[in-house]
Amino acid sequence: MPYDQLSAHTGAWTRRPTREVGLVFVETTAKGRRRPYHKQKLALILANQRQFALEQAARGVAIDYVMADTDYDVALAGPLARHGTLECQRPAERELRQTLAPLVAAGRIDEHPHEGWLTTRAHFEASHNGPPYRMDAFYRHVRRATGILMDGAKPAGGKWSFDAENRKAWKGTPPAPEPPTFVADDVTEEVGQLVRDRFADHPGRLDLAHLPATDADAAQLWQWARQSCLPQFGPYEDAMSVRSRGLFHTRIAPLLNLQRVLPLAVVRDVEALPIPLQSREGFIRQILGWREFVRHVHEATDGCRTGIGSEAIAGTTPLPAAYWGTVSGLTCLDRVVADVWEEGWSHHITRLMVLANLASLLEISPRELTDWFWVAFIDAFDWVVEPNVLGMGTYALGQMMTTKPYISGAAYIDRMSDYCGHCAFDPKTTCPVTPLYWAYLARHREALRDNIRVAMPLRSLDKRADARRQADARVFAVVSEALAEGRPVQPADVVRALAD
């Protein structure tokens, strides 16, 4: 039973009489030590795995729970000797598939299809002829194939996407919900202690009160999401605020990715909610569209290693200390980074338009950024974090799964958030993010030359006076140098770079 398949509703074993079933779990420090994972992420995975094993034991399922310091294939030697051939649903993670591949090849593990996805490889292939891949085409195909949010052959409400209506900034109303809290029982407390003792050198804050660990906790979180988040989900989907880290986002991804909550149940529940269609469609597109799409792209491209598209842009600058919590002086970045180390999570737009946007503008190595996301976010696993960071957050895969780099200057951040009001920089005059944006376009003008989706900004770039373009490049140098040295960017330095 892989750590991310913690459901009693998927897999051949769930259709057999309980007394005939035995589950083998592996808990190994080798996995936890592979990267410096956020403490909350280690606790989330270990607590859910232990609680799930106990829940199944209580139903009468036999449990073989192996504690190890070695990788999975080695740790499974004991169970293989005790039970003979084991069965397993195909792991979602490429890393785990690779570890188990020799055992699968040798017939020691009998691999079955993963039943936790909403779509199959056939859906993906029927919507595409190979790279480039486009989420819209896949999503429309799957809506038609499944009948989800359909009125006969037409999309409900007459449109496939209501994205254009989902771009409101949030000014404090309606009030954003507080995330639910959970009571950590002895099992979860013990995991917390283990993480404190054995992973003391790992980053991030451990917060058991906000850690859903049991089946009941998962149900409670989803109930909160449906009641308190979903009604306002659509309109404020892209908003960011210092006053609320999550706004109306559900924080369900960590549990979806462990299968504590199943995507089919989530989609069915949301389809039936008496809330505006723009919120229902907006949310369902994320689960049925984006989530399924990225995992197909990951698998079809050997984990984003093949099929890289034209125009790919990949910086080589090491990830600055600012991403590990050293103050950068840029409030948007500092605020979101602080949120991430506090909770192991931040919402989609903060990931895309702050963390990844600034990394792109600063020519940070996409691989280093991906590895950072992987350790820092409690919902990060290779199948989801690699396409999202390499393909969407940065433009390291070029046209493979997106049509243009998702980059912006300060105007977007100012419009969609209240960060700038708390910043030493002025988004309209001294903020370095806008010159960084122009400097990025100037550096990559040639690569993006034929991209019609960036034609407008490139025309504006061409009209930008030489003196301003030189100032853009100087700001890039000043900001890059400060961050490389782990110093905050000083407004006076930026003002000088703009004026020189």
Ligand X SMILES: Cc1cc2nc3c(=O)[nH]c(=O)nc-3n(C[C@H](O)[C@H](O)[C@H](O)COP(=O)(O)OP(=O)(O)OC[C@H]3O[C@@H](n4cnc5c(N)ncnc54)[C@H](O)[C@@H]3O)c2cc1C
Which residues contact ligand X by CB under 6 A?
249-253, 256-257, 286-287, 290-291, 294, 347-348, 351-352, 356, 373, 377, 379-380, 384-385, 388-389, 392-393
**Contact (Cβ atoms closer than 8 angstroms) between residue 435 and residue 343:** no
Question: What are the percentages of helix, strand and coil residues in the chain, rounded to 5?
Answer: 55, 5, 40
Residues 6+ apart with CB under 8 A from 406: 352, 353, 356, 357, 360, 392, 393, 395
Closest residue by Cα to residue 358 from 329, 397, 399, 401: 329
Nearest one of 230, 253, 226 to 166, comparing CA atoms? 230
195/270 with CB nearer ligand X: 270
Interface with ligand SF4 includes 423 (CB under 6 A)? yes
337 near ligand SF4, judged by CB under 6 A: no
Q: Which residue has the tokens 């003792």?
A: 197
**Span between the terminal Cα atoms of the chain, in Å:** 62
Pick one of ligand X, ligand SF4, none as the site partner of residue 291 (Cβ within 5 to 8 A by kind): ligand X
CA angle 293, 294, 296 (to 5 degrees): 65
Q: Nearest to ligand SF4 by Cβ — which residue?
A: 423
Among residues 419, 437, 438, 440, which is the contact residue for ligand SF4, using CB under 6 A?
419
| Residue 19: CB minimum distance to ligand SF4, A | 59
Kindly tell me which of 49 and 388 has the beta carbon lying closer to ligand X. 388
Phi, psi of 134 (to 5 degrees): -130, 125
Among 133, 224, 345, 425, binds ligand SF4 (CB under 6 A): 425
Q: For the CB of residue 1, give the shortest distance to ligand X in the complex, in Å.
A: 20
Which range of residues in 72-80, 171-179, 291-299, 327-335 is near ligand SF4 by CB under 6 A? Answer: 327-335
Tell me how far CA of residue 274 lies from CA of 12, 157, 166, 176, in angstroms: 34, 14, 18, 19
Paired strand residues for 124 = none
Stretch that binds ligand SF4, among 2-10, 316-324, 408-416, 475-483 (CB under 6 A): 408-416
Hey, what are 230's tokens? 């979903």
What is the sign of the dihedral through the CA atoms of 450, 455, 457 and 460? positive
Q: Which does 362 bind (CB under 5 to 8 A by kind): ligand SF4, ligand X, none?
A: none
**Span near ligand SF4 by CB under 6 A; candidates 48-56, 91-99, 103-111, 414-422:** 414-422
Q: Of these, 48, 331, 346, 365, which contacts ligand SF4 (CB under 6 A)?
A: 331
Q: Which does residue 380 touch among ligand SF4, ligand X, none (CB within 5 to 8 A, set by kind)?
A: ligand X
Q: Does 410 engage in binding with ligand SF4 (CB under 6 A)?
A: yes
Q: Which is nearer to ligand SF4, 398 or 435 (CB)?
A: 435
Least CB distance to ligand X at residue 176 (A): 12
User: Count of residues binding ligand SF4 (CB under 6 A)?
Assistant: 13
Contact status, residue 325 vs residue 341, Cβ threshold 8 Å: yes
- Asked if residue 362 binds ligand SF4 (CB under 6 A), the reply is no
In sequence order, the β-bridge partners of residue 110 are 87
Nearer to ligand SF4, 154 or 468 (CB): 468
439 binds ligand SF4 (CB under 6 A): no
CB of 293 to ligand SF4, least distance (A): 30
Residue 107: closest CA among 126, 78, 84: 84
From the CB of 316, what's the least distance to ligand SF4, in Å?
23
User: To which H or E segment does residue 268 belong?
Assistant: helix 263-272
Give the whole-angstrom CA distance, residue 164 versus residue 73: 48
Secondary structure element (H or E) that encloses residue 111, with its range: strand 109-112
Handedness of CA 329, 330, 336, 340 (dihedral sign): negative
Residue 339 contact, options ligand SF4, ligand X, none, Cβ 5-8 Å cut-off depending on partner type: none
Residue closer to ligand X (CB basis): 244 or 250: 250
Q: How far is the CB of 471 from ligand X (least distance, A)?
A: 29
- Which position among 42, 267, 431, 497 is part of the footprint of ligand SF4 (CB under 6 A)? 431
- Smallest separation, CB 216 to ligand X (Å): 19
Residue 330 interacts with which of ligand SF4, ligand X, none, CB < 5 to 8 Å by class: ligand SF4
Q: Are 376 and 342 in contact (CB under 8 A)?
A: no
Size of the chain, expressed as the number of residues it contains: 500
Q: Which CB sits closer to ligand SF4, 91 or 393? A: 393
Which residues are registered as beta bridge partners of 242?
Answer: none
Contacts by 123-128, CB closer than 8 A, 24 or more apart: 123/292, 123/296, 124/293, 124/296, 124/300
Under rule CB under 6 A, residue 427 binds ligand SF4: yes
Query: Which residue ranges make up the site for ligand SF4 (CB under 6 A)?
Result: 330-332, 410, 413-414, 419-420, 423, 425, 427, 431, 433
